[in-house]
Amino acid sequence: MPGRVSERQAGLYRVEHETLDGRGRRWGRVPEAQRYLDELVSSAWFFDRWPHFVRVRVERRGRGASWSTCEFLDAGGPGGRPTEGVVLVAPAGLTEPVVLHELAHLLSPGVGHDVAFAETFLSLVRHQMGFFAFAELFQGLRRLDGFRTVREGIGG
C-alpha cells in the first residue's frame, strides 16, 4: 500500500484484509498466477463484461516492494481504456485477492478506489472466490461511508 492513502482507500484496504485475508489461492510462483489470469481473461464470463480487455501479464516487483500495483500497457479500448496491462505483485502479494484487486484497477482505470472500482472487484471476487467471500466483502464495504451505495457488481 502506498505511503499516503485517503480515508476511503484505507477503509477499503481494511475491509479487504478483514474479509479476504487467508481466503483464496496463494501461488508460489508467478507462472501459476499467470495461468490463473490467462484462464480468467479468456473465459466467456469475462468477455461478456470486459470484451475490450484481452491480456494481462503478472510480474514480481523488487524485493524491497511492500505493496502491489498495476500498469496499463495501452489505451486502445473504448473511451481510452486499456486492452492489456501488467499486475506487479509485491513479494507477499502472490495471492488471489491481491491479483484480483489489481486486475480490477486495470478494468476500471482512472477511478482509483471508488464505488466503480469496488463493484468491479466485487464481480471478480464473486466469480472467482465464491459467494461467501463476496458476501463478506460486500457487507463490509457497505458499512463504509464512501461505499454505502456500492452495488453487488457488474453483470450477472
| Rounded CA separation 29/7 (Å) | 33
Domain count, the chain: 1
Report pLDDT for 66.
87
Cα–chain center distance at 70: 10
User: How large is the average pLDDT for residues 136-150?
Assistant: 91
* Assigned domain for 97 exists: yes
| Rounded CA separation 52/75 (Å) | 10
pLDDT tens string 32-69: 999 999 999 999 999 999 999 999 999 999 888 889 99
* Assigned domain for 2 exists: no
* Assigned domain for 39 exists: yes
Q: Is 153 within 8 Å of 119 (Cβ atoms)? A: yes
Q: How far are the Cα atoms of 9, 37, 65, 110 from residue 40, in angstroms, in the given order?
A: 26, 5, 26, 22
* Assigned domain for 27 exists: yes
* Assigned domain for 155 exists: no
Q: How much is the pTM?
A: 0.93
> Residue 130: how many CB atoms within 10 A of its CB?
12
| pLDDT at residue 1 greater than cutoff 50 | no
Please identify which residue in the block is written with the cell numbers 507477499. Answer: 92
Instruction: Work out the mean pLDDT of the chain and round it to a whole number.
Output: 91
Expressed as residue numbers, the domain containing 140 is: 7-147
Which is more confident, 153 or 76? 76
pLDDT tens string 88-116: 999 888 999 999 999 999 998 677 888 99
